[in-house]
Amino acid sequence: MMIIAGVEEAGRGPVIGPMVMAICAINKEEEYKLKNMGVKDSKLLTPNQREDMFEQIKEMTTHAIIILQPKDIDNALNDPAMNLNKLEAVTTSKLINSISKAKKPDEIILDCPSNNIPVYEQYVRAKLEDQKQKLIPEHKADLNHIIVGAASILAKVTRDREIEKIKQQIGLNFGSGYPSDPTTISFLNQNWKTHEKIFRKTWKTYQKVANKHKQKGLGDF
């Protein structure tokens, strides 16, 4: 009986909120059940479709989810030995090690964020408890593999829920949290200091706004 797994992230690029990574594993001969449910890359599904599938995917798969808060991301990027790709790789290893205790996958498909696929694979493998596990790193793996699509749905729904929690906690709407969102940039300009814990301070988008306000403050001195 062959067990396949997929790893995917959600929220790599936003200036606000966490990045979420997830892994799903299933018996290869049962993967068709995910396909019949309509599982695919989360970006190709509506929020309601993702929500409807979320609990079903969790019931059908062995899975794990890790939420990387802005401070976790900033701590990694402030470390000269780390970057965002390496943080993803380390987190991927943790996810694989986590589920392997219950259901060790024979193949693990990774949606690779790095242009250098062999180096990324080596970095993930170095942190694995079982060095012999088969890794299949690919670009756009969430489009090509249903099990990676399932992981992408778990990651995306979890991140969306975390974003809604933040909005409820602060009582303000900041849009999607992405730098391309005008609502997010407007919120950042007004709240970069007030709600600083929700921002990724290593992002150039945040630093540009913070520096602008600091320079303005010096000018008023």
pLDDT in tens, 124-170: 999 999 999 999 999 999 999 999 999 999 999 999 999 999 999 99
Task: Give residue 41's pLDDT.
Answer: 87
Phi and psi at residue 61, in whole multiples of 5°? -125, 160
Q: What is the pLDDT of residue 1?
A: 83
Residues 106, 189, single domain; the answer is no
pTM for the model: 0.94
Give the residue numbers spanning the domain of 128.
3-167
Assign 180 a pLDDT band (cuts: 50, 70, 90): very high
- Give pLDDT, residue 99: 97
φ/ψ (deg, to 5) at 175: 75, -145
Question: Tell me, what CATH number does 11's domain have?
Answer: 3.30.420.10
Strand 107-111 with 3-10, pairing: parallel
| pLDDT tens track for 86-107 | 999 999 999 999 999 988 999 9
pLDDT value for 221: 45
Query: Does residue 80 sit in the same domain as residue 163?
Result: yes
Look at residue 218 and tell me whether its pLDDT is greater than 60: no
Instruction: In whole angstroms, give the CA distance from residue 192 to residue 117.
Output: 36
Confidence of residue 214 (pLDDT cuts 50, 70, 90): confident
pLDDT of 216 = 66
Query: Based on the domain organization, do 154 and 105 belong to the same domain?
Result: yes
| Residue 219: pLDDT band with limits 50, 70, 90 | very low
Q: How many domains does the chain fold into? A: 2
Are residues 161 and 179 located together in one domain of the fold?
A: no
At 46 the three-state DSSP class reads coil
Q: Check whether residue 178 and residue 73 sit in a common domain.
A: no
Last residue of a domain, one of 167, 187, 209: 167
Average pLDDT over residues 60-83: 97
pLDDT, tens digit (0-9, with 9 covering 90-100), for 12-63: 999 999 999 999 999 999 999 999 999 998 989 999 999 999 999 999 999 9
Longest Cα–Cα distance of the chain, Å, equals 71
Q: Which residues contact 154 (CB under 8 A, 6 or more apart)?
A: 22, 24, 54, 57, 58, 63, 65
Quote the CA–CA distance of 201 and 61 in Å, as a whole number. 35
CATH number at residue 199: 1.10.10.460
Give dist(CA 89, CA 86) in Å, integer: 5
Residues 200 and 139 in one domain: no
177 and 163 co-located in one domain: no
The neighbour count for residue 136, using CB atoms within 10 Å, is 17
